[in-house]
Amino acid sequence: MKTESLVWLGISLIILFLVWRTVEPLISPIIFSLAIAYIFHPFHMRLSQKFGNKKSAVMLTAMMALLAGVLLIGAALWLRDVLNYLYVYIGDFFNWLLGVNLPFGIGESLHALSKTIPEKLGDILLGYTFSLPKFLLQAIVFLALFYAILTNSEFLAMEVYRLLPRENRELGIHLVERAKITLNAILRTWLMLSVLKGIFLTVGFVLFEITTVSGAIAAGILCIVLELLPVIGGWILWAIGAAYLIKTGNIALGVLFAVYGAVFISPIPDITIRPKLVAEGAKVSSVVALVGIFGGIMSFGIKGVIIGPVALGLLVTLLEEWKEQEKETLSKEPTQPSKARHSKAA
């Protein structure tokens, strides 16, 4: 019996190894499809009420396919210039940040990041530059999984709860619910808003002719990253753009762009839209988001943008849930009278 169990364990490990080797090259589109499908699931449910489940999934998948096509064309036309602009922007930003008097230790960490992040980002972007067929293959896998996840969302949600262990099932359900709140805060609030702000900044830089298309795309990418930082955010970039227009003599355009930035980038979206998207108790620490995204990029590449913050957010949720369970356990334990009280009573 023991020999048979060892044989089946070996077979299972071999199968798992082969499966991992099969999906490893496609792990990025798998993670992004899960994240984007989770973000768009509320829109899918609303569209499903009008057009049905499959038609809604087809419409959203077609929209994602159009976006993937734009990204593919952009990668072919502008990626090298975007990379150059991004190096310049990130270098200028870190030089400015290192010039500020920061507490001991933070400056050294930023100095290390100023060298590591551009190199890692360059490797990622250059990898896609010289491998556009690989990007196309990953886009196809992403779209197929995105459609499959949306059409089977209810079944997948039921399976998550069915896989919970029978022992301490209530704890598992509570943990899943808290994890959903954390995912909402990270994906549907932080990630979605940051990407939208980056898109608006890119469009604004092009419309107001502040820089070239490549420079505008690089500024949009940097805006998404800056939205992670406390106090420092995307408003810095539209403020720089407005100051540039005013300095060149286009005062009216500079003021108009400043209004555009305040309305579509920061701070008005943070005041009006963000509170509606974030549920009570779902706020994620900016430190968690910052460490998550930078550490994720350095460890996992581009997919680390999602893996890092989500993993740290779920860890925080797990620790908070564990502390709550400990409090409940201690409150339910009967208080034992001390030996001194026993002896006094005797």
Residue pair 321/328 in contact by the 8 Å Cβ criterion: no
Could you report the per-residue pLDDT of 176-229, keeping only the tens digit for each? 777 777 777 777 777 788 888 989 999 999 999 888 888 888 888 888 877 766
What is the distance between the alpha carbons of residues 40 and 150, in angstroms, rounded to a whole number?
9
Could you report the per-residue pLDDT of 53-63, keeping only the tens digit for each? 899 999 999 99
Give the tokens for residue 217.
């795309």
Residue extents of the structural domains in the chain: 171-325
Q: Mean pLDDT for each 10-residue chunk of the chain (346 residues)?
A: 78 90 84 87 90 91 87 69 73 68 58 63 56 77 92 86 77 74 74 86 90 84 74 80 88 92 87 66 61 75 74 77 75 56 44
What is the maximum span of the chain, computed from C-alpha positions, in angstroms?
A: 94
What is the distance between the alpha carbons of residues 37 and 61, in angstroms, rounded to a whole number?
10
Report the amino acid identity of residue 17. F
